[in-house]
Amino acid sequence: MEFIVLASGSRGNSTYLEIGNEKILIDCGISYKQVRLRLEEHNKTIDGLTKVFITHEHSDHVGQLAMLAKNHDIEIYLSEGSLKNLKKNIKYVIDCTRFKTCVPEKLLEFDGFQVLPFNVYHDAIEPFGYRFYEDDKSLVYITDTGYFPQRKYNLIANAEAYIIESNHEVELLLESDRPWLLKRRILDDEGHLSNEDSATLLLNLAGDKTKIIILAHLSEECNLTSLAIDAYNKAFMNQGVDISAYKLVVARQDYSTELFFLE
């Protein structure tokens, strides 16, 4: 399994994954041109793309879906709620047979890999996170969620790699010029994970297999890379966990991460 976070943030999200014998995108919220350019930086190409997994219908996650479907013979996996709420200029220009609705917590079987969709908690209609399995390795993708319930930890615990939201630093958000209703939305259980909440959640999920932690969807106005890293360092230290045992990376909006391998 190989993967690259091509872009992450409120202006657009997309992650590239090679698994089994297939090329996959998780979300497609940046321009088609940028997807191609950022893959080329890693000597990769989007040619042969087979599937796109959509987390939810907000434009920073689906804005380029129609363009992808025009240029590639892709299957599009998403929740029934996300499909119903796709904008007309996306949904109705794509052949309806391309859409494959998923049931949360029902494992999808493909040639050489599996995918588990699961519910997250965001102000969208039935948003999903995903866990990708290849052999005995797995990657969990969980962003755009205000919290994650303890009773569901077993669904995403002890993965080799996590791409996990670390959206805002609470004090910066509260002191920002954003309208109060927007601040409340972000802080709500159906908003976004703060740095501290992200670190606490990951501490509860990480296990002996966990090696890679990628912090995603950082706010450009209400967060800093240093604050997100500091929150993780503090949370892990307070629990006596050596964070240096993990590769901790921050995904960015304007350029991709390195190429990661799970072998």
All domains of the chain in start order, with CATH: 2-261 (3.60.15.10)
Query: Which residues, in sequence order, are CB contacts of 43 under 8 Å at separation 6+?
Result: none
Q: Count Cα atoms within 13 angstroms, Cβ side, for 97.
A: 1
Q: Would you give per-residue pLDDT tens digits along the chain (263 residues)?
A: 999 999 999 999 999 999 999 999 999 999 999 999 999 999 999 999 999 999 999 999 999 999 999 999 999 999 999 999 999 999 999 999 999 999 999 999 999 999 999 999 998 999 999 999 999 999 999 999 999 999 999 999 999 999 999 999 999 999 999 988 889 888 888 889 999 999 999 999 999 999 999 999 999 999 999 999 999 999 999 999 999 999 999 999 999 999 999 98
Q: What is d(CA 108, CA 87) in angstroms, rounded to the nearest whole number?
A: 26
Scan for tokens 């609470």, then name that residue: 170
- Parallel, antiparallel, or unpaired for β 49-53 and 137-142? unpaired
Q: What is d(CA 100, CA 183) in angstroms, rounded to the nearest whole number?
A: 34
